[in-house]
Amino acid sequence: MKSNIASLPYTLTLKGRDLVTWLDYTVEEVHELLKLSQYLKKNPRSKSLEGKTLGMIFEKSSTRTRVSFEAGMLQMGGHAIYLNSRDIQLGRGESIEDTARVLSSYVDGIMIRTFETEKVTQLASFSSVPVINGLCDTYHPCQALADVLTILETKGTLKGVKVVYIGDGNNVAHSFMILCAKLGMDVVVSCPKGYEPREDIIGKTVDLALESGGSFTLNYDPVEAVKGADVVYTDVWASMGQEQEAFKRLEDFKGYQVNEELLDHASSDVTFLHCLPAHREEEVTAAVIDGPCSAVFQQAENRLHVQKAILQSVL
């Protein structure tokens, strides 16, 4: 089947680019990716990556990241190779530099889901093909783009939308803050003391909000935080690798559960988001995540569409 690449709404300026964090992308480039995501959602069988191969390195387990990247490549006519760290030489001590150089000679792009952010940046430094951050301890950029696409679909706009993230100031929070502030939204983070986002990420978010006309607020009171919220977002309280802290976190996050009582303080048409997997009756009640305000599964589906847009743009 012939490629219909010429009909796709994107420019070649993103070709060859890495995606480590949205701090490296302009507002215009993000909007371009959102536009392409919408196009590919309506036209899912575009064969525009025919003959392309993506290497996918996984040092952290995954459902949505693996399946959405692999399905996305297949739907666009390409191929994805799953590389578990236990099965490749990286897991036996081969350097990031050597791994990058070897894989670059075999594939057209590399996606990595790992722990240390430095692994992603080092891989990108030594790779001759684009590297996509599928998740690291600091950032989760692909998830954030799916979050923003879902907000755009449910609210019809982005600028001026009030988004409230309740929970641990983790990698999901970091990328969500950065991208929403960059796009002119009013961002609020509410968490217990000691669980704030990193100070440097807060500083960058504030700067982005000043540039875009948005805002950033850190509010330790979740009830105050959600007042007038258009979107409320949460994540698990103990992320992958933090299982030993689970009991302490359950205690520390008491009062930060997203439930119907809390959402009564938000906008009457509030949208609830969660990056999944979710622990019902911990960070969110079943009544909320399975209720009428939830766009969680629309958000999960959008991982496929935004990742296809990223792949199409950089490969």
The strand pair at 186-190 and 53-58 is best described as unpaired
Name which of 89-98, 159-168, 276-285 the model is least confident about: 89-98
Name which of 88-92, 178-182, 253-257, 270-274 the model is least confident about: 88-92
Condensed to tens digits (0 to 9), the pLDDT of residues 5-37 reads 445 555 557 999 999 999 999 999 999 999 999
The strand pair at 231-234 and 162-166 is best described as parallel
d(CA 138, CA 79): 28
Please give the pLDDT value at position 8.
59
What are the extents of the domains in the chain? 5-140+303-314, 141-300
Among the four given CATH numbers 3.40.50.1370, 3.40.50.2300, 3.30.2320.20, 3.40.50.10480, the one describing domain 5-140+303-314: 3.40.50.1370
Please give the pLDDT value at position 86.
79
d(CA 238, CA 172): 12
> Across the chain, what does the average pLDDT equal?
93
**Which one has a higher pLDDT value, 92 or 234?**
234
Please give the pLDDT value at position 239.
72
Please give the distance of CA 288 from its chain centroid, rounded to a whole number. 21
What dotted CATH number matches 141-300?
3.40.50.1370
Q: For residue 235, indicate whether it is catalytic.
A: yes
CB 33 within 8 A of CB 313: yes
Q: For residue 303, indicate whether it is catalytic.
A: yes
Which of 18, 38, 108, 113 is catalytic? The answer is: 113
Angle at alpha carbon of residue 202, lines to 241 and 33, rounded to 5°: 80
pLDDT tier, 240 (very low <50, low <70, confident <90, very high otherwise): low
Torsion over CA: 15, 17, 22, 23 (sign): negative
pLDDT tier, 89 (very low <50, low <70, confident <90, very high otherwise): confident
Please give the pLDDT value at position 6.
43
Please give the distance of CA 185 from its chain centroid, rounded to a whole number. 16
Please give the pLDDT value at position 110.
98
Average pLDDT over residues 255-279: 97
pLDDT tier, 61 (very low <50, low <70, confident <90, very high otherwise): confident
The percentage of residues in the chain with a pLDDT greater than 70, rounded to a whole number, is 94
Average pLDDT over residues 245-268: 94
Q: Is the predicted pLDDT of residue 300 greater than 90, yes or no? A: yes
Which of 142, 180, 191, 275 is catalytic? The answer is: 275
Q: For residue 191, indicate whether it is catalytic.
A: no
Please give the pLDDT value at position 93.
80
pLDDT tier, 242 (very low <50, low <70, confident <90, very high otherwise): low
Condensed to tens digits (0 to 9), the pLDDT of residues 157-213 reads 999 999 999 999 999 999 999 999 999 999 999 999 999 999 999 999 999 999 999
Which of 168, 186, 230, 235 is catalytic? The answer is: 235
Q: Which two tokens stand for residue 199?
A: 């100070």
Please give the pLDDT value at position 11.
56
User: Phi and psi (nearest 5°) for 216?
Assistant: -135, 135
**Which one has a higher pLDDT value, 9 or 229?**
229
Q: Is the predicted pLDDT of residue 241 greater than 80, yes or no? A: no
Which of 143, 257, 307, 312 is catalytic? The answer is: 143
Q: Is the predicted pLDDT of residue 243 greater than 80, yes or no? A: no
Which of 249, 274, 303, 305 is catalytic? The answer is: 303
Q: Is the predicted pLDDT of residue 55 greater than 80, yes or no? A: yes
d(CA 140, CA 160): 23
Please give the pLDDT value at position 4.
44
Q: Tell me, what amino acid is at 193?
A: K
Q: For residue 31, indicate whether it is catalytic.
A: no
Q: For residue 275, indicate whether it is catalytic.
A: yes
Which of 38, 136, 140, 307 is catalytic? The answer is: 140
Instruction: Reply yes or no: is the peptide bond before residue 277 cis, omega within 30 of 0.
Output: yes
